Structure 1
Amino acid sequence: MNADDTPAAALAAQVTDKDPAVGLRAVLELRRLLEELERVHVDNARDQGWSWQGIATALQVSRQTVHEKHAGRRKATGKESGHD
């Protein structure tokens, strides 16, 4: 696969497209990608023993924000014990 054939390269091309429909679809895909990246890395941090405060500090948000966004999801999947 050529570096220009990657999903990231395709998104980069779409973001700068003059057609609003193409550009807005790219924004949607970037938003989805960002949410997935955050989920993966929050899970990784918690699995490695990071506190909610440590994660919040790294993301530059409040502890409450990150906890409300991710703790329930982790609890539902059995990854969160309810401490911290």
Structure 2
Amino acid sequence: MTGTDALLTAAGSAEPAEGLRAVRSLRTLADRLETLQVERARRLGWSWQQIADCLGVTRQAVHKKYGKSDKVVR
């Protein structure tokens, strides 16, 4: 079983504390992956609109979250 599989199993736990900790960990992982992919897309010349379309959010939302961040390479 991988770490991700263990987190998914724990997220469905009947024990709320275990499930909520797993949900928090999954959210952190998803946020890190999103940042990584936004950085890659921007380095490859993607527009904010292209990124927003893939994430299912508005261009304004993605730009607000990443546009002024030093994390995202332009």
TM exceeds 0.5?
yes
Query: Whole-Å Cα distance in 1 between the matches of residues 42 and 73 of structure 2?
Result: 9
Query: Whole-Å Cα distance in 2 between the matches of residues 78 and 70 of structure 1?
Result: 6
Contact 2:39 2:72 in 1 (8 A): no
Q: Confirm or deny that 1:19 pairs with 2:15.
A: yes
**For residue 22 of structure 2, what is the amino acid of its counterpart?**
A
Equivalences for residues 1-84 of structure 1 within 5 A: 4=1, 6-73=2-69, 76-77=70-71, 79-80=73-74
Identity rate, percent? 43
Q: Which runs of 4+ in 1 moved over 4 A?
A: none
Higher relative contact order (CA 8 A, sep 6+): 2
Query: Whole-Å Cα distance in 2 between the matches of residues 68 and 77 of structure 1?
Result: 13
Q: Structure 1: give runs of 5+ residues left out of the alignment.
A: none
Q: TM-score, length-normalised on structure 1?
A: 0.81
Q: Structure 2: give runs of 5+ residues left out of the alignment.
A: none
